Structure 1
């Protein structure tokens, strides 16, 4: 097991990663917020879902999710339709405008990362991506009791297509 000083340095570096994340979070479509961008990204990645599932993915209180969804619905980026399996529930999905805003957001954040990491090799970026995904997986496993590491760089080469 690593020395305590090694974990302390890891904590400092994770804090610095948090600063990078906050800076990238300032890149949002007009009218949106970092939180709305997160909701767009989750709906873009996972497709249509109930608000309860979105709340689980966000790991926030349902009232917080509801506020984000209300904002995105008012902007016309998300629609909420009745769930055919349970008419009391709604299914959220991105609108065409929501897909456009998500693509804009992704392009702008990718450009920012590419600019800042221009002197990094592709392998260094892949290695960092794998290690961060592994870190997240290990923390998620503690909550869910499951442990299955999936390499996110496998998905990086698949074309992004909007859900119908």
Structure 2
């Protein structure tokens, strides 16, 4: 009798744990999706990072410039899209269970960031948007802050840069 009672209690506890675990993993079908396009020419942008602020959720736009977040918890969300050479853009939305919200972004090229020049080790000029890797960007304020009289004086304070005079 005691064995049966313990078995019954154990079965009830396991059923309750299983039900609560299934409830936590139940798809909500609350989705947010859309596309990212260039505001100037209307073209879809591949490889943009779209993230939900305040969480660890992020994705990238696919080859057609689209993204989707599936089975979110119902609630309010703020999404931010970023892409090199473009200004970041944030938008907020709400999503309910069994609802799909379309949230599209039109991002603008950041003219300041696009035309900067990168100095390479091959001593050739490369536009920032065409450079494979960027190390650092210096402004005129940097040179003023270190009291540089020449470019070489200002570069002496940059990590990884060695200036030699011939």
| TM-score between both structures, scaled by the size of structure 2 | 0.21
Q: Which has the higher helix share?
A: 1
Point out the structure with max Rg over C-alpha.
2
Q: Which has the higher strand share?
A: 2
| TM-score between both structures, scaled by the size of structure 1 | 0.21
